[in-house]
Amino acid sequence: MAIEDTLIGTLGMTFTELSKERVVCTMPVNEKTRQPIGLLHGGASVALAETAASIGAFLHIDPKTQFAAGLEINANHIRGKRDGIVTAIATPLHIGRTTMVWHIEIVDEQHKVICISRCTIAIGEQK
């Protein structure tokens, strides 16, 4: 499956930095990511946060024998946004054998915080 055919592609997410220590990805604030009242949808922010954390976790595993999947996520929506671009910056708090915990900040173009999130990723064995 091509990434364009997933939620990542549907919401217009792009990756600008990919390392085991930091994942940075962006998403436009537009008709696909806004609530009917015109603000960035909290669910779109959570999708961006979990995507950044999941990609970061994926960089720590052997995809031939393991998989990474979201286990828990929380988010505090700090500031509204009506248009432009938001950027998620994900950094690991814990890299374990069966779980990983990532801290994600979503910021606007002026680096003002839009959302703070923490995501726990489960690491499983491929069967």
DSSP 3-state of 101 = strand
**Two structure tokens written together for 39:** 């603000």
Q: 62 is written with which tokens?
A: 């052997």
- Tens of pLDDT, residue by residue over 2-28, are 788 899 999 999 999 999 999 999 999
Q: Domain ranges in the chain?
A: 3-125
* Residue 119 predicted with pLDDT over 70: yes
pLDDT of residue 127: 82
**Would the pLDDT of 99 be above 90?**
yes
Q: How many Å separate Cα 6 from the centre of its chain?
A: 14
How deeply is 12 buried, as exposed, middle or buried, from its count of CB atoms within 10 A (0-12, 13-18, 19+)? middle
Q: What is the CATH number of domain 3-125?
A: 3.10.129.10
Q: Which of 50, 72, 105, 125 is catalytic?
A: 50
- In this predicted model, what pLDDT tens digit does every residue of 22-66 receive, in sequence order? 999 999 999 999 999 999 999 999 999 999 999 999 999 999 999
pLDDT of residue 2: 78
Is 21 marked active-site? no
Helices (H), 14-123: 42-58
